[in-house]
Structure 1
Amino acid sequence: MISKTFNRYIWLLNMLLQHRRLTFEEISCRWKDSCLGDGRPLALRTFHMHREAIAELFGVEVECDTSSYEYYISSSSQLKNDKTRQWLLNSFTVSNMIEAGRNMKDRILFEEIPEGTEYLQTVIDAMQRKKELKIDYKPFNGHQSIFHLQPYAMKVYHQRWYVVGYLKEQEGIRNIALDRTLEMELTDDSFILPNDFDAEEYYAHTVGIFVNDKLKPQKVVVRAFGVHVEYMRSLPLHFSQQEIRTEHKEYSDFEYQLCLTPELTSQLLAMGEKIEVMEPIGLREEIRKRLFAAINRYK
Structure 2
Amino acid sequence: MPTKNTIRRNYLIIRRILQNDYPSKRTLLDYMKRYDVEIGERTFQRDLADIRSNFDIEIIYDEQKNGYYAQTDSTFDFDKLLYFIGLAESSDIILSTVKDRNKLLEYLSISPTPHAKGVENIGRLLQAIQSQMSIHFEHRNYQTGRLKEYTVFPYLLKEFEGMWYLFAYISELKAFRTFGLDRISDLIITDNHFQREKVLELTADKFNQIYGLIYEPDNNPNAPIEKVELRFSDTMLHYLKALPLHQSQTINENIITLHLIINPELENKIISYGEQVEVLYPLSLRKRIIQRLQKAISQY
Q: Is the structural similarity TM-score above 0.5? A: yes
Task: State the Cα distance separating 1:219 from its structure 2 match.
Answer: 1.5
| 1:113-152 pair list within 5 angstroms | 113-114=113-114, 115-120=117-122, 122-124=124-126, 126-127=128-129, 129-140=131-142, 145-152=148-155
State the AA in 1 paired with 2:248: S
Give the corresponding residue for 2:91: 92
Q: Is the 8 A contact 1:225 1:275 kept in 2?
A: yes
State the AA in 2 paired with 1:108: L
Give the corresponding residue for 1:235: 243
Task: State the Cα distance separating 1:295 from its structure 2 match.
Answer: 3.5
Change (3 A) 1:104 1:125: closer
Structure 1 runs not aligned, ≥5 long: 7-87, 247-251
> Separation in 1 of the partners of 2:112 and 2:95?
17
Task: State the Cα distance separating 1:215 from its structure 2 match.
Answer: 0.9
Q: Is the 8 A contact 1:241 1:256 kept in 2?
A: yes
State the AA in 1 paired with 2:271: L
TM-score (norm 2): 0.57
Change (3 A) 1:4 1:219: closer
Q: Is the 8 A contact 1:148 1:169 kept in 2?
A: no
Change (3 A) 1:167 1:108: same
> Separation in 1 of the partners of 2:191 and 2:168?
17
State the AA in 1 paired with 2:288: E
Task: State the Cα distance separating 1:96 from its structure 2 match.
Answer: 5.0
- Is it true that 1:208 corresponds to 2:212 in the alignment? yes
> Separation in 1 of the partners of 2:227 and 2:132?
37
Give the corresponding residue for 2:71: none
Query: Matched residue of 2:155: which SS?
Result: strand
Structure 2 runs not aligned, ≥5 long: 7-86
Give the corresponding residue for 1:260: 262
TM-score (norm 1): 0.57
The partner residue of 1:288 within 273, 277, 290 is 290
Q: Is the 8 A contact 2:3 2:94 kept in 1?
A: no
Give the corresponding residue for 2:108: 108
> Separation in 1 of the partners of 2:283 and 2:2?
52
> Separation in 1 of the partners of 2:250 and 2:132?
38
Task: State the Cα distance separating 1:131 from its structure 2 match.
Answer: 3.0
> Separation in 2 of the partners of 1:241 and 1:194?
29
Give the corresponding residue for 2:232: 224
Q: Is the 8 A contact 2:230 2:279 kept in 1?
A: yes
Q: How many residues align?
A: 211
> Separation in 2 of the partners of 1:200 and 1:164?
7
Give the corresponding residue for 1:178: 181
Query: Matched residue of 2:106: which SS?
Result: coil
Give the corresponding residue for 1:156: 159
State the AA in 1 paired with 2:210: T
Change (3 A) 1:182 1:292: farther
Query: Matched residue of 1:230: which SS?
Result: helix
State the AA in 1 paired with 2:107: R
Give the corresponding residue for 2:75: none
Q: How large is the Cα RMSD of the aligned pairs?
A: 3.8
Percent identity among equivalent residues?
Answer: 24
Give the corresponding residue for 1:44: none
What per-residue deviation string (whole Å, max 9, x for no partner) do you get for residues 257-291 of structure 1? 12111221122122222111121122112222333
Task: State the Cα distance separating 1:169 from its structure 2 match.
Answer: 3.4
Q: Is the 8 A contact 2:167 2:204 kept in 1?
A: no
Give the corresponding residue for 2:46: none
Change (3 A) 1:130 1:276: same
Change (3 A) 1:162 1:269: same
Q: Is the 8 A contact 2:4 2:88 kept in 1?
A: no
Q: Is the 8 A contact 2:88 2:94 kept in 1?
A: no
> Separation in 2 of the partners of 1:262 and 1:289?
14
